[in-house]
Amino acid sequence: VTIVHSQETTDKENAAMTALWFTQALLPDGWAANVRVEIEADRLLTVTPGAARQTGDECHHVALPGLCNVHSHAFQRVMAGLAEIPGRAGDTFWTWREIMYRFAQRLDPDQLGAVAAMAYVEMLESGFTRVGEFHYLHHERNGHAYANPAELGLRIADAARRAGIGLTLLPVLYMASDFGGAPPRDDQRRFINTVDSYARLHEGLRSALAPMGMKVGVAPHSLRAVTPDGLSAAVALAGPAPIHIHIAEQIGEVESSIAWSGQRPVEWLLDRQPVDQRWCLVHATHVTSQENAAIAATGAVIGLCPLTEANLGDGIFPAAEFVAAGGRFGIGSDSNVLIDAASELMMLEYSQRLATRRRNVLSGPAPGSTGRALFDAARVGGNQALAISGDGLRAGAAADIISLRNDHPTLTARAGDALLDGWIFGGGKAMVDCVWANGKVCVVEGRHQARTAVAARYREVLRDLLA
């Protein structure tokens, strides 16, 4: 009986283990060839460079560690391409926000879950293996709390679980329509909490998501949407968890901050809050050189969302200056107007080239591949912003892996960093082959395993909303 039992155990262990073999892989100490990787449950059991391929191994081309998407509003996926017609009096972030609010007011819990699942499927297909969801849609359409106030946050978590993407949920505290605690607008009613109702929401989500291995941070929406006391209360709830806040995305926001306090948003924040490595300052587009250096010195991450920032006409963050000061950044898909990890990195570099009329601006101090510098920086910053430690392709780390195709013409006869440059500047998500997140294969030959079902439901939602 004992022998049979131990045999059963071994069979189960074998069944739970996946062995992969890659022609090239980006390991923590650099590129390696012929890398064999064993996955057990959600972890990498072994990572062996220079290994022989064994019978039963799945063979793949290039392995990269997964990327974190530090900033997403999943529901905004429904309006991709629907805000590209100018209004009569010109068009800005603020007119885009009016359209976004119209969608935010209509989604029911099922629809929100369907849209989020679509966004998360597309994130995985592009190489994001974890998302920081900056979640501010909390209440029923009439502004009343759901029977379970955490209802919509749980729908987000369920969508992430179905897609298989790692989730760091960032429930948002939204209190006011402008600096100084101006009363919220009617079309913000689904977002609004008091400090007390937010604390209950946060606790409800934390206790529900912990058993699923999902993390919960805090997200005071912005200095215009929380009072100083509300901000302090949210920060106190965080403990060691991530603290994310929108900051200085718009010139108008900076001007309102100065009118209210005499200080720019970043100046005000750094003077009053213990900004440190837990913090992710999202956008920080409009900063002075002094603010940029001050943020870098705190160890906080700046959450850059290059495609959305370009789409919204936000402006260009002075990234070269920030990186030279030792600043850390992560990348986010934010409005999800286009979901593509590599294209976010490309847009970040291209915005700097357009602003400086130079090339390879973010390649770092030592001459080397710009793609590699962008990828490494976004991984380090992204992991910090979503509180992931011990990652990368090494034993014991979470099994989050991206593989690139071996039959894409652009990647012909390339090795090492040239593969990253090819992916980021010459191909994007069309080059992604397979993606594993938390040890499970989610994407095969560029297509998420659940794409058909998730896309069918998404189409129904979109038809209803646009009818």
Taking the complex as a whole, how short is the minimal distance between the CB of residue 73 and Zn ion, in angstroms? 6
Nearest by Cα to 253 from 179, 317, 334: 179
Out of 61, 283, 286, 448, pick the active-site residue: 283
Whether 45 contacts 17, CB under 8 Å: yes
What tokens does 337 get? 């107007």
Out of 334, 340, 391, 421, pick the active-site residue: 334
By C-beta, is 105 or 406 nearer to Zn ion? Answer: 105
Taking the complex as a whole, how short is the minimal distance between the CB of residue 22 and Zn ion, in angstroms? 35
What tokens does 297 get? 């010195």
By C-beta, is 217 or 422 nearer to Zn ion? Answer: 217
Region from 142-150, 334-342, 363-371, 424-432 binding Zn ion, contact rule CB under 5 A: 334-342
Residue type, 58: E
Please give the residues from 142 up to 201 whose contact with Zn ion meets the rule CB under 5 A.
none
Residue 195: partners with Cβ closer than 8 Å, 6 or more residues away: 173, 175, 229, 230, 233, 234
Taking the complex as a whole, how short is the minimal distance between the CB of residue 253 and Zn ion, in angstroms? 12
Per the annotation, the verdict on 229 as an active-site residue is no
Region from 29-37, 214-222, 329-337, 343-351 binding Zn ion, contact rule CB under 5 A: 329-337
Taking the complex as a whole, how short is the minimal distance between the CB of residue 409 and Zn ion, in angstroms? 36
Whether 83 contacts 94, CB under 8 Å: no
Q: What is the largest CA-CA distance in the chain?
A: 80
**Calpha distance 118→128 (Å, rounded):** 13
By C-beta, is 105 or 410 nearer to Zn ion? Answer: 105
By C-beta, is 283 or 372 nearer to Zn ion? Answer: 283
Helix, strand or coil for residue 207? helix
Per the annotation, the verdict on 340 as an active-site residue is no
DSSP tag of 138:
-
Please give the residues from 399 up to 438 whose contact with Zn ion meets the rule CB under 5 A.
none
Taking the complex as a whole, how short is the minimal distance between the CB of residue 308 and Zn ion, in angstroms? 8
Region from 3-11, 98-106, 314-322, 330-338 binding Zn ion, contact rule CB under 5 A: 330-338
**Calpha distance 188→408 (Å, rounded):** 46
**Calpha distance 15→17 (Å, rounded):** 6
By C-beta, is 291 or 309 nearer to Zn ion? Answer: 309
What burial class does residue 95 get, using C-beta atoms within 10 Å of its C-beta: 0-12 exposed, 13-18 middle, 19+ buried? middle
Region from 264-272, 333-341, 428-436, 443-451 binding Zn ion, contact rule CB under 5 A: 333-341
Catalytic residue numbers, as ranges: 283, 334
Interface residues with Zn ion (CB under 5 A) are 334
